[in-house]
Structure 1
């Protein structure tokens, strides 16, 4: 008599497959973002914003490693999927760089806007994926997703602080 394997049955479910596809999508997003952040750092006027982008690039590498660990835990291939949403957000950031004056706080304010759009996309994605993982009983996966979610929220708060502390007021006087 064969005993049913609950994990194997779950892996074949439509919900689980959707979950894995969305993990691949955010994995692709993070792989794209880690390449874009140094360009945003270089385009920054203020040292504080450049440092925030540098830190976020480092954090993004950790997010990539967390996702690779999640794929291992789920016994899934860590294939990335092209994330159209992130592609659009990065393209928007590149347009901001080309459309704003170099060494201006207006550029920094615009870069913060672009970066916060990215953060909000990531926060929504990681929050939902964490909930999916919990619903399927993937406790360790949910914990890894929670860690990344907290980090994304912290990055968003840091960007807000930089904008509110001086970038927006400096931009308004240019």
Structure 2
């Protein structure tokens, strides 16, 4: 889609970009799961990997409803966040510091996704696309729960262990 002439066009573009973002995030999650040393953090990443697969399926359902084709274009925001994470994974660090870094990296992606889904929910509601809005709202709530879980893990376990390494 080369032109954005309406809110519908903008929404269609955003759905394509969210699909790309979720697909990229899912691919990047494998390295995060493998790199995490804290068992609860590893489990949180694994759980969110399953949720991400469901989120991709919801986006594909919306794409079918709206007659949108997936794009081959990478989501540049998520691509950059994953690239930054990969650079950090190559640095020498203790497992405790690495876990804290993984939470920070994952939350950056979650915050981006929360912003995207929040905007898309508003647009679908404005356009009267009730079913799409509900699917997007479901994903938005999952992203918020994942962000809270990561915050709770950081505050209760991971950051404390990382601080003890100083």
With structure 1 as the length reference, what TM-score do the two structures score?
0.89
Give the match for residue 41 of structure 2. 49
Q: RMSD over aligned Cα, in angstroms? A: 1.3
Q: CA deviation at 1:75?
A: 2.3
The equivalent residue for 1:20 is 12
Aligned to 2:120: 129
Deviations 1:61-81 (A, max 9, x none): 001000000011112223353
- The separation in 1 between residues aligned to 2:73 and 2:48, in whole angstroms, is 21
Conserved 8 A contact 1:27-1:80: no
What is the count of residue pairs matched by the alignment?
162
TM-score of the pair, normalised by structure 2? 0.93
Runs of 4+ residues deviating >6 angstroms:
none
Q: Counterparts in 2 of 1:70-89, with a 5 A limit? A: 70-89=62-81
Q: Which has the higher contact order (CA 8 A, sep 6+)?
A: 2
* Rounded Cα–Cα distance in structure 1 between residues aligned with 2:97 and 2:143: 24
**Partner of 1:3 in structure 2?**
none
Does 2:130 correspond to 1:139? yes
Find out whether 1:151 has 2:159 as its counterpart.
no
Larger radius of gyration between Structure 1 and Structure 2: 1
Superposed displacement of residue 96, structure 1: 1.7
* Separation of aligned partners in 2, 1:157 and 1:80: 31
Provide, for residues 3-55 of structure 1, a one-character-per-residue CA deviation record: whole Å limited to 9, x for no partner: xxxxxxxxx95211111011101100111111110110100010111111111
Query: Of residues 14, 23, 32 in structure 2, which corresponds to 1:31?
Result: 23
Question: Contact 1:24–1:79 (CA<8 Å) still a contact in 2?
Answer: yes
Alignment deviations for residues 143-168 of structure 1 (CA, whole Å, 9 cap, x no partner): 00000000000000110111011110
